[in-house]
Homo-oligomer: A and B are copies of this chain.
């Protein structure tokens, strides 16, 4: 495993505000609550609501934002990018640049990782990051493991330069991808490799989300513990210094995996029973809720982490 140059400089950024929104149709599978888009509701409605809430929390208007970044796992249209469609909802008439960043379920972490550097180096001052997906658009009723797992939601975050005297910062980010897992979580049909025009009775299942849960768990169990250990060592951080871990709400296996990574119950957020897996919105959604509930306060060290289709693993350390 190649070790990249250790970063020793903190990126002086802070989360100025967050927002979240969830599908209006509530479902229950045994003790698991899920939310899906209502008829007539679109992910763009949720993204818009989350963005407006985040801007309000940051006491800003959209005209204060330097770039709109969609950190979503799935495309709304093949063209244009998601950020252009969100721009139309919240920034029409303005010339704010719009861009997508995608590492599937960990896209939010990637966006914060990248744009904390670009805020720190002065390129941007105020970044609006949006995550969210319509999982329900591709769920297969014949695959209960995934059909009963996901919710549709969105979350937004205003990332800004930290003022002098504030100690908010991004301290460390690291991602790895092992493409042995590229087909363990996928939607094969609908886009460039197998377009909608190719759908027939025989390959119809290829257009659904397909998750090989057992294979993913095995690959994660093999890769994740070393990855987390290596990251914390590189960052010079102990588990005891972390106030709260915000993991991707991947599945109900979270409560099994987190202790194996050295994070005991109560040290991490587990809202899988209440909200399910919100795909790219999982981490920012539960982080937003934790901030609302004052479980995270200014100065607290938080660890965002997650696995994503790829297989990608991603980890970000920040002082809120």
List B contacts of A195 (CB < 8 A): 137-138, 190, 196, 207
Q: Once the chains are docked, how many angstroms separate the CA of A125 from the CA of B5?
A: 9
Does A249 have its Cβ within 8 Å of any Cβ on chain B? no
Contact between chains at B176 and A309 (CB < 8 Å): no
Does A235 have its Cβ within 8 Å of any Cβ on chain B? no
Query: Taking the nearest CB of chain B, how far is it from the CB of A83, in angstroms?
Result: 8
Given A4-B66, A97-B176, A103-B99, A190-B193 contact (CB < 8 Å) = no
Q: Once the chains are docked, how many angstroms separate the CA of A165 from the CA of B75?
A: 43
Contact between chains at B309 and A92 (CB < 8 Å): no
Contact between chains at A87 and B182 (CB < 8 Å): yes
List B contacts of A7 (CB < 8 A): 122-123
Taking CB atoms and an 8 Å cut-off, the chain A residues in 99-116 that contact chain B are 99-104, 110, 114
List B contacts of A114 (CB < 8 A): 114, 118
A-B contacts besides A81-B309, A99-B175, 5 pairs, CB < 8 Å: A77-B186, A77-B187, A78-B190, A121-B121, A138-B195
List B contacts of A179 (CB < 8 A): 84-85, 87-88, 91-92, 98
Does A217 have its Cβ within 8 Å of any Cβ on chain B? no
Quick one: CB contact mask for A218-262 with B, threshold 8 Å, 1 for yes?
Answer: 000000000000000000000000000000000000000000000
Contact between chains at B196 and A196 (CB < 8 Å): yes
List B contacts of A310 (CB < 8 A): 80-81, 84, 87, 98
Taking CB atoms and an 8 Å cut-off, the chain A residues in 33-52 that contact chain B are 42-44
List B contacts of A182 (CB < 8 A): 80, 84-85, 87-88
Query: Taking the nearest CB of chain B, how far is it from the CB of A161, in angstroms?
Result: 10
